[in-house]
Amino acid sequence: SQQGEEDPQALSIQEGENATMNCSYKTSINNLQWYRQNSGRGLVHLILIRSNEREKHSGRLRVTLDTSKKSSSLLITASRAADTASYFCATDLVIAAGNKLTFGGGTRVLVKP
């Protein structure tokens, strides 16, 4: 079952604009991760935010987390055509012998040149 729900399901923007996508989840988490998936390829880890953090930056990426609202957002600034991909949030629960990721349905982002 999918833990997170992402909004919007699809997003189309012009190169240079910012892209914002949101993720809501239902249960307690240890961390929340964001992954990117280019067409026909596997997922690539983008950024992790811990449950005790509110905001995190990595290059052109900015992630926020509000555990009281059980929601997270991913902002991509100054988007490029190469940012065209599907973006997934994944709730991260640390359990015995590893961690368990539960993915949302994803946001499909199209960046037009």
Tokens representing 28 are 């307690």
Helix (H) or strand (E) holding 58: strand 55-58
Single-letter amino acid, residue 88: F
Sign of CA dihedral 17, 56, 24, 104: positive
Nearest to 89 by CA among 70, 76, 108, 102: 102
Distance in Å, CB of 30 to another protein, minimum: 7
Site for another protein in 78-107 (CB under 8 A): 88, 90, 92, 94-106
Considering the rule CB under 8 A, would residue 40 count as an interface residue with another protein?
yes
The three-class DSSP label of residue 50 is strand
**Segment lying near another protein (by CB under 8 A), choices 13-21, 31-39, 61-69, 70-78:** 31-39
* The binder of another protein chosen from 20, 22, 30, 77 (CB under 8 A): 30
Of 17 and 53, which CB lies nearer to another protein in the complex structure? 53
Chain positions contacting another protein, by CB under 8 A: 1-2, 4, 30-31, 33, 35, 40-45, 48, 50, 88, 90, 92, 94-106
